[in-house]
Structure 1
């Protein structure tokens, strides 16, 4: 069982652990989450602390309490960010959860735009590997994303250049193919209007606002491994973070 750290209140650590399970897809809509009694035993905390953790999840809209039955994952629309997908891939070998799949729209070499070249530290040579995909949940498109990699990875990780799905995700595949392990990621989040192409792929009527996440993965030597831009439709829960004040 995970150990309690001192950085956050205990109830928030428990709530975030369960939230991550929900966002990764380990806990599916309709599934029961551990009870107050079970959480208290697993985390070595008091019942009031475990009850407060479940209450925090209810406030976030992730779970619902059913009288006389228990607490269950709600059927809500959420964005699955790279952080949750990496966690799932490392645990299960698959980057997508049940009901999710990606369609690879294009893959190959391309000239990287300025912000991508800067993020990947490409220097004067802007040639890079580009993979564009549309992620679906059921029959609904929920994300359009474009990943960029340094061009030299094409020799050691040739699947990046093929318009086929990579089951374990691109980062884990690159790790396996090259030995370069992803160490940490950085996200920047903003909102803007969708382009015509994005609106068509996400089935939106223009004008439409979208959530945009710029994501960079660094290896153990702090060298950029992947830059990705993910575009999400409006009206879906993005992420929430609890933190102490002071």
Structure 2
């Protein structure tokens, strides 16, 4: 039963319906969209409304026009990222290091790492690229008392990555906890990720735990929601325990 009213402009409502069909696969990659006249009839909308909705989806990368042929769904489906992996096993993905600093982390990161007021952390910021295009901003934080005088606190890429450094310190990664939210992007995120207008981002806060559930790393991963789907995997040992 409806509990509210959709006050968005009509073109945004139309774009939302088409976007949902693309994301669910009802409009498959490479499929041609119905004609403008058919869309006008389906959504009971004016031509200008349909054209604005299509432009919005083109700007987001969901659609592309072929001169003299029509409008088609992008050939590539959303990138499905397993939350258990930092980097997809695909050579077309790469990282660029932005900076390395020692600073006071955001409040949620400080709490996740168990830092007291005033305690600092080493932050390593990176950008994830796919075929040279920006996809994700990430900032990984390490308690300063762990990272000081290690490769974690120095500029430059780390051979073997942070897990190798932590393991060498006697802090092997044993588990992680993810918290995922969605929100409008900051100005920096819009510019760094080259986001289309009104595109939200997925914010993933990952806390890595070592032995005795000691937090040794907290990463904030920000992705454009128009490009990604996150995949969570869970083993259920007792299915009946989930009955409601």
Q: What's the TM-score, normalizing by structure 2?
A: 0.60
Query: 1:167, 1:78 → 2: CA distance?
Result: 26
Count of aligned pairs between the two proteins:
163
The CA distance in 2 between the partners of 1:241 and 1:171, in whole Å, is: 21
Counterpart-to-counterpart distance in 1, 2:233 and 2:143: 32
Q: Of 134, 137, 154, which residue of structure 2 is paired with 1:144?
A: 137
The one-character-per-residue Cα deviations of 1:77-122 (angstroms, maximum 9, x if unpaired) are 425355123xx8xxxxxx8641211111110201112111111001
Give the whole-Å Cα distance in 2 for the aligned partners of 1:162 and 1:76.
Answer: 37
CA RMSD of aligned residues (A): 2.5
Task: Give the corresponding residue for 2:81.
Answer: 80
- 8 Å CA contact 1:129–1:151 kept in 2: the answer is yes
Q: Which residue of 2 aligns with 1:215?
A: 206
Is the contact made by 1:129 and 1:149 (CA closer than 8 Å) also made in structure 2?
yes
CA–CA separation in structure 2 for the residues paired with 1:108 and 1:114: 17
Spell out, residue by residue over 1:183-238, the C-alpha distance to the aligned partner (whole angstroms, 9 max, x if none): 11000111001111111111113432011111001111211100111001122222
Is 1:134 the counterpart of 2:127? The answer is yes
Pick aligned residue for 2:156 from 143, 150, 164: 164
Asked which structure has the greater CA Rg, the reply is 2
Distance, in Å, in 2 between the alignment partners of 1:96 and 1:175 is 22
Shift of 1:126: 2.6
Out of 108, 123, 130, which is 2:116 matched to?
A: 123
Aligned to 1:185: 176
Q: Unpaired segments of 5 or more residues in structure 1?
A: 1-73, 89-94
Mapped to 2, the partners of 1:240 and 1:217 lie a distance apart of: 16
TM-score w.r.t. structure 1 length?
0.59
Gaps of 5+ in 2: 1-74
Q: Is the 8 A contact 2:83 2:230 kept in 1?
A: no
Distance 1:174 1:97 in 2: 25
